Amino acid sequence: MRKMGDGQIDPKKLCALLGAALEAQTAATEITSVVAEDIKEAKLAHGLNTRAFAMCKSIARLDQVKRIALLQAFDSYREILRLDDAPQEELLPDPPTQMRGDNG
């Protein structure tokens, strides 16, 4: 029977190291996909908020008669499209989730 000497690799230790490396790589891939999804959600929410803010600033600059007419038109379309009847989750994207591991 041959003994393990200096300079030889223990197959059991090698398998354990490869298994640990594979687990670490899998965990890193999962974390990367979670972070990428959070970034995507944040960009979407930021884009909507930026457009809504710009629209509100534009409406605020209108004279009162035009502003009232525009807001009434929005109300009319809201009724026509039945936006108030639609579930809220269909109207807006989900807000960005908290950072994973953040307890509050």
Domain extents in the chain: 11-61, 62-94
Buried b (16+ CB within 10 A) or exposed e, 28-49: eeeeeeeeeeeeeeeeeeeeee
**What is the pTM assigned to this prediction?**
0.40
Whether the CB-CB separation of 45 and 93 falls below 8 Å is answered with: yes
CA distances from 91 to 42, 81, 84, 94, 97 (A): 17, 12, 9, 10, 18
Give 62-90 pLDDT, tens digit per residue: 999 999 999 899 888 888 888 777 665 55
